[in-house]
Structure 1
Amino acid sequence: MTRPPVDGLLLDIGGVLYQGAEALPGAPEAMQRLRASGLALRFATNTSRTTRAALAEKLGRLGFDVAAEEIFTAPLAAVQTIRERGLRPLLLVHPDLGPDLTGFPDGPPDAVLIGDAGEHFDYRGLNRAFRLLMEGAPLLALARNRYFREQDGLSLDVGPFVAALEYASGVAAEVYGKPAPGFFREAAEALGVAPERLLMVGDDVESDVIGALDAGLQAALVRTGKFSPEDETTLADRAPVLEDFPALVDWLLGAGGENG
């Protein structure tokens, strides 16, 4: 495989750097090599069960030196737009995400913001959201991923709940996380790297890889996390597939440790 000419990387987190409560083998050491290369680096995640600060703290415990400001999240992308539009969203999100969702006007909700609430999803909340949508409220989704992998197996992500509300109300969701093109463009702008010189690395063939390619970025898929063999057929040679994050770093930097 030819190494791509890149000036920066966007790294997915869950399924690439860690899974559950454990770092993936060799990932912290590979991160140190990547840091030493001088390439621009940001972390891009659709995770919406926790704040950027808590995510950075978890990464630190697992051996990754990451600042909260380096993490670009779907909630971060959504909040700015919601504030600009003056919307008052009903929050169907995980309670731990609360500190990252502030600064909205007071008053009755006139929009629905949905993220991965996990076990906090319930009929009452979903039905309240449905009624708002039927009254004309917009549906704002932090992501529409179908599932993710935890240590004990696959788990539903927010996508199935977004699809249910879309089906019931006839309202199409505005998606702020991956694979929305705007998510990748904003991340590239924040890094100061042209999209065509930016490499997205992830374990989700749809949201991470195909989404990045469609937004004009380069992309690579790793065979960890939620990866399945069928993903390579879906990708159809549009992007390289590496065994894991350390293998990606080896491929990108080469034996000499420099991008070529």
Structure 2
Amino acid sequence: MNDDLKAAVLERCRRMEIPLVGVASTDRWEHPPFLPWMPEEFYPQSIFPEARSVIVVGLPIHLPVLETSPSIYYHELYKTVNTLLDQYTYRLASFLTDCGYPSVFVPRDGYGSIEVLRKNPVAFFSHRHAAYLAGLGTFGVNNTLLTPEYGPRVRFGSVFSAAALPPDPVLAEDLCTRCMLCVEACPAGALDERDYPEGLTDKAACAANSAELARRHISPCGICIRVCPVGEDRERYGRTTAAGDDDPRRRRAREHVRKYGGL
């Protein structure tokens, strides 16, 4: 295991102001932590045979912006975070390759549009599962990865590397509180009260709702991650309730934002 190289990767991430970084060895995909698990074709080593490690980075979605969702404000934040993820993972992959360890970045989504996703609702790689195996969080009822720092309000990107980096431990504590706020708030009725993965999201219903928001230029939805009470970011922003509705000033601000920028 290359401890010095991992330290160099972490330092690069620190310089790029990436708050969440984790490493998983590719053999973790071969030993499913729960069932059902993904088919082998979705393993990183099936996509990039040289892969021995997966480096996962996470960037937060700012809660006050998310509270306006669905809106043009959250729409633009989502695009910005996605762009940064692609840039950061590309730079990390290039750095590792220059160090002598062939590496590639993985695009943050892996599908062309919401219409594509409606016809084939699976991307070629799951960053959420990679983040879980890299010790960054645990799955919630809302089918997202919850992190201690930001709850589910995080977007992830990954790098496949031939470098054998020391892996981080998988998070042992289950972060989901089973409050069911996400199930109750989902506008598409796409969530199930059962734990992940038994209560998998109704992808067709979720995608149909996303397609309508995309038509109005205010996708994605974001409501299931907006209401989740998990995450230190709630305290940082002074959000003591799931939607922040206890403050009339914030409510007026959200209502103002939602009136503009979309159909």
State the TM-score bracket (shorter-chain normalisation): under 0.3
TM-score by length of 1: 0.27
Q: Which has the higher contact order (CA 8 A, sep 6+)?
A: 2
